[in-house]
Amino acid sequence: MAKPTLGVFGLTGCAGDQLVILNCEDQLLQLTELVDIKDFLMASSGNDTACQLDVALVDGAVLSKRDEETLKAIRERSRLLVALGTCAVWGGVAAMDRDRDRAKLVADVYGDMGKQYDTLPARALHEVVKVDLNITGEQLPAHRTGQNLLRPAELGRMRRAVPQPEYPLRGVPGPGG
């Protein structure tokens, strides 16, 4: 049986959770035995950007039309979509300004150049597409990240449903849980 396919993606954010995945050296090697990593720009320049994926891990929040279009395209090509980290699950720190006047905020930050930026109020992934699993926390601890990546991969290989972790990574459950 072929290994499940995996993609790791980043929208607007610090990319910290993608970096943590790369720093899970022992678990990452185990993960490559369980899944075929097809698309992970931070890890490889040779990516298959059009293939269907069994699992997509998405880091970052939706802060632009480009992010929104990218996320919708990822959702279309993925059987399971996992929101990875605080920005993906909740919108992160950027979501704190959602109630402010967007035009004024952009002008205050960027001045006259602000007109060239395609910026929207920050949104969590579930506000744009269906999310199958939330792994919350910011720059997740490496040992927990490895555990959380290996468990769904093992279950995905066996084609079982992927359960939400029964423990919070930082004491905060994801939306709806």
Strands 133-135 and 78-84, how do they pair?
A: parallel
Q: Which of 84, 7, 3, 2 is nearest to 53 (CA)?
A: 7
Residue-wise pLDDT for 31-49, tens only, equals 888 889 999 998 888 999 9
What's the pTM?
A: 0.78
Question: For the chain, percent helix, then strand, then coil, each to nearest 5?
Answer: 40, 20, 40
Residue-wise pLDDT for 99-151, tens only, equals 888 888 888 888 888 888 888 889 999 999 999 998 887 655 555 555 556 55
Domains in the chain, ordered, with CATH? 5-93+120-157 (3.40.50.700)
Tell how far CA 104 is from the center of its chain. Answer: 29
Residue 8 contacts residue 20 (beta carbons within 8 Å): no
Q: Tokens 């290996």 sit at which residue?
A: 150
pLDDT of residue 89: 93
